[in-house]
Amino acid sequence: LGADTRATSGSEVADKNCEKIHYLAPNIYCCGAGTAADTESTTALIASQLELLRLSTSTQSRVVAAVTLLKRMLFRYQGYISAALVLGGVDVTGPHLYQIYPHGSTSKLPYVTMGSGSLAAMSVFETGYRDDMDENDAIELVKDAIFGGIFNDLGSGSNCDITIIRTGGVAEVRRTYRAPNDSAPLRAAYFRPPSLRPPAGATAVLETKVDVFDAPQPMAI
């Protein structure tokens, strides 16, 4: 699973490092597009329901159970919960990847994209996807797809996060896997002229005034 880290509020960037890959279960994670508050609260609610189910059954969470809980909840609200999700996981039946629309419809596909940068990301997937890819090739393909959204969509940007779920249900979260828009080298290469770098104490102090007021005594403890 992969995601960018830009959250917008209209035409402004509200958060440059928003975490969009949400935990659902130790073997199931979910990428969220749409309204950030809706994706956060929805995935947190389903994560708690899955944990209660694991405690009552003493078994690993099934990916199809997470999908069913999510689609039933979203369909109940008829699209008013703006959560477009990409859900991935590995259970006893193997690996699974689903896309879940805000109205509750779902699709199970080899590769899926959601969000404002999904068209650019899908073009990368359709060009580079193969059925026999190994883990490193798959990670690079997902990274390139996220970069496609970052560089070609104004609603996407900042960094690329990656989450790997391996056979056995062991997940590895790679926060800020790549940061293509790091401004530190650019800032370091720019030299500000001396006229724009005034030294400390360059501004003259014209007047100093200190007012002393009578304050009540502190209460004795």
Q: Please give the pLDDT value at position 213.
A: 82
Give the integer Cα–Cα distance in Å for 51 and 24.
9
Mean pLDDT on 162-166 = 97
Q: Locate all alpha helices (DSSP H) within the chain, ordered by sequence.
A: 36-57, 63-76, 118-128, 135-152, 184-189
**pLDDT of 62 over the 70 cut:** yes
Indicate the average pLDDT of the chain.
Answer: 94
Distance CA 73, CA 219 (A): 55
pLDDT at 220: 61
CB atoms within 10 A of CB 132: 5
Record the pTM.
Answer: 0.84
The pLDDT of residue 221 is 60
Share of residues in the chain with pLDDT > 70 (%)? 99
Mean pLDDT across the stretch 213-218?
75
What's the confidence (pLDDT) of residue 32?
97
Q: Tell me the mean pLDDT in the region 169-187.
A: 91
